[in-house]
Amino acid sequence: MSEQRPRIISVGEVMIEMSRQADGRFTVGCSGDTFNTAVYLARAGMNVAYATALGDDRYSDDIIALAKAENMATDLMLRAPARMTGLCLVETDSKGERHASCWRDTSPARDLFELPDWGKIAEAMMGAQLIYFSGITLSLYSNTGLGRFLAVVELARKNGVKIAFDGNFRPHGWKGDLPRTRTVFAEALKRADLALPAYDDEAVLWGDPSPEATIERMQAFGINEIVVKNGPNSALVSADGRTETVPVPEVVVPVDTVAAGDSFNAGYLAARLSGADPVAAVTAAHRLAGEKVKHRGAIMPRNAMAVH
């Protein structure tokens, strides 16, 4: 992978994931919302680096090995001595919905912008093509870390870097503090060129009565391109003053809905960065997400993407 070509930098946390299978046994993998998106972007041929902090344990080694196997750059995956990465225990119900219990309070990813080498991440972000992060990313950091991260995002944007943000609101990660969440999200939205929210999240956090209301609210922040994921049937895209509903090409009965939104975001970003118009990009995103939910786990087998 050439380091000279401008690249996408996805920022966040990847955890060890133990998933209970139908026979009661557990399988070990790893996932994290922005990590999942980075994997699917890399599979689409994008030049992607993942920015996070890991421990010095064997499972952190495994995460880096997986990232390399997926052709992701790992030079922004910092290591924290004597620390261990977070752990998530996942069960999937009969409707394909996941239920997770996570142990991540001491995860090194929470200190990414307070570690001694955090300036390495900041410098790389300044030269990126696009920076991608989520509401889960924001929920990780202390006020100090948030201040540094958002300042770097703002400077990078002034330097011509595009900023993509998926709200991906999870109340538990914010300890139920909605006022703080809204304040932090507003700061992120002020710095975003592209928003990729899910309507059900926005309705909970902001009280939006419709996807159209979500678009209107985000446009007030000056965001020109907004894609609202609206459940399994459609998405609403607004760009350059035009708003259009894009239906799902094929309705799929899900086996596992985990990473549906993450894969959608990857499909959309990859298509847009490859020159597709917003509506065509949403259709590509629907197809990738539709394939993902046919498979268990956040990261589907590579051969399942052969048609995408």
Query: ∠106-150-60 over CA atoms, to 5°?
Result: 30
Structure tokens at 165: 């943000």
Q: What's the chain's length in residues? A: 308
Q: Give residue 117's identity as a one-letter amino acid code.
A: D
Choose the catalytic residue: 193, 208, 262, 277: 262
Is 177 among the residues known to form the active site? no
The DSSP bridge pattern shows strands 77-79 and 48-54 to be parallel
* Cα-based torsion angle of the residue sequence 301, 47, 129, 180 in order, rounded to the nearest 10 degrees: 40
From CA 173, how far away is CA 129, in angstroms rounded?
29
From CA 290, how far away is CA 251, in angstroms rounded?
8
Structure tokens at 292: 């993902």
- Strand-pair partners of 164: 132, 194
Q: Is 127 helix (H, G, I), strand (E, B) or coil?
A: coil
Just list the catalytic residues: 262
